[in-house]
Amino acid sequence: MRETSNPDWHFQRPELADFYLKSFALKLSNSRALFARRRMGKTEFLLQDLAPAAAKLGYRVIYINLWECRDNTNEGVASAVINSLSSSASLLDRIKKISGKKINTIKLNAKTPIGEGSLETRFEPESSSGLTAKMWQEIDHCKEVILLLIDEAQILASSNNADLAAALRAGLDVRKQKVHVIFTGSSEHTLRDMFAKSNQPFYNWAPVEPFPLLDNLFVHHMIAVSNHILDSNYHLSYDDGITAFDQLKQTPELFRRFLEEYLIRPFHGHQAAITSALAKTYTDQGFDRLWSDLLPVDQVILQYIAANQGGLSSKNTRLLLGQRLGMTELANHTVNNALARLFDKQYLSREDRGVYRFEDDHFEEWVNMEHPFV
């Protein structure tokens, strides 16, 4: 391997960032809700492409990851906004600070919810309603237009966040010119419900669209950066890259793991690197542990869904699943309760009435491999 100074692994997406910012500038919309499966690059895009591009245009950017403050969303949201807005650092510096950090390390902490601004500022504990009032005050005092990036937005759809969602909607409604919002999430169904159901606080508030996925241009970039580092005997061809990307279900995170494996042991070949990238994903995500923490009924439902069988709620299926558990037929509410737990943990999402799918393809693959429904 050759020494290289600071390889830039991030594949930039300036056109996509421009596209969203232009549609705000043209007043075509004030908000968007974008969905894509897990590990497809939503957060990296928000932090490394969209936020810096918006900051350059003069936006004040606020990033909130709701999953990280899901135990205390009211306080988490208010603190993130307040911390960001009361920071004295220049916009670009603040963005550089977040986008220069490893994605995993900038996520908000559940116990002490902090926003990107908290890198510079801290607050004394305050009551939740006091914090919320202060949040709107800070927003109203801010001179710039705000771009609010709400990551893992599906958390707002859970019933215990109904009050927060309603309050946000009410507050944002009267500040449409002042605050532009991008919601992102991994569950298409939940986002659609949030924005398309008339009984939901965010009804009709943002168009729900797929987040454009990384494609072969991303592979090109990553292969070029890798070859720059690799000894010429071990250069990867673009076709090898595409093969790996396809085998890894076109998941950018896994593709990066594959390259990491290959760069360390190129002499084992690219197929071996694909295999270890997958194996590492299974262990790093702790699927074993995840699995053993589940109730048997939740496990059998995941196995059933991973095996691609339909009609989960039918009498026959409930009988079959009950037998697997050494019982009689599972009651409808038992299946529904299990599904509710699995939605809550974000292992499953509902695609359509009675149609469920894994939020994480790799977890599904692992269940099929390790615990097949036979």
Ligand X SMILES: Nc1ncnc2c1ncn2[C@@H]1O[C@H](COP(=O)(O)OP(=O)(O)OP(=O)(O)O)[C@@H](O)[C@H]1O
Q: For residues 42 and 134, which CB has a smaller minimum distance to Mg ion in the complex? A: 42
Q: Give least dist CB 42 to Mg ion, A.
A: 5
Q: For residues 106 and 300, which CB has a smaller minimum distance to ligand X in the complex? A: 106
**Which tokens go with 169?**
């909607």
- 39, 49 Cβ separation under 8 angstroms: no
Q: What DSSP string describes 88-111?
A: -S-HHHHHHHHHTS-HHHHSPPSS
Q: Give least dist CB 11 to ligand X, A.
A: 4
Q: Give least dist CB 336 to ligand X, A.
A: 25
Q: Closest Cα partner for 191 from 10, 200, 251?
A: 200
Task: From the list ligand X, Mg ion, none, pick the one residue 10 interacts with, judged by a Cβ distance below 5 to 8 Å according to partner type.
Answer: ligand X
Q: Which residue has the tokens 């950066």?
A: 225
Q: Give least dist CB 43 to Mg ion, A.
A: 3
Task: From the list Mg ion, ligand X, none, pick the one residue 252 interacts with, judged by a Cβ distance below 5 to 8 Å according to partner type.
Answer: ligand X
Task: From the list ligand X, Mg ion, none, pick the one residue 11 interacts with, judged by a Cβ distance below 5 to 8 Å according to partner type.
Answer: ligand X
Task: From the list Mg ion, ligand X, none, pick the one residue 256 interacts with, judged by a Cβ distance below 5 to 8 Å according to partner type.
Answer: ligand X
- 84, 62 Cβ separation under 8 angstroms: yes
Crossing angle of the two packed helices 216-229 and 238-247, in degrees rounded to 10: 120
Residue 55's SS3 state is helix
Task: From the list ligand X, Mg ion, none, pick the one residue 9 interacts with, judged by a Cβ distance below 5 to 8 Å according to partner type.
Answer: ligand X
Task: From the list Mg ion, ligand X, none, pick the one residue 278 interacts with, judged by a Cβ distance below 5 to 8 Å according to partner type.
Answer: none
Which positions lie near ligand X, rule CB under 6 A?
Answer: 9-11, 13, 36, 38-44, 103, 186, 252-253, 256
Q: x/- site string to Mg ion, residues 17 to 46, per CB under 5 A?
A: -------------------------xx---
Q: What pairing do the DSSP bridges indicate for beta strands 60-65 and 348-352?
A: unpaired
Q: For residues 3 and 8, which CB has a smaller minimum distance to ligand X in the complex? A: 8
- 302, 287 Cβ separation under 8 angstroms: no
Q: Give least dist CB 254 to Mg ion, A.
A: 15
**Which tokens go with 243?**
């093969």
- 353, 307 Cβ separation under 8 angstroms: no
Residues that bind Mg ion (CB under 5 A): 42-43
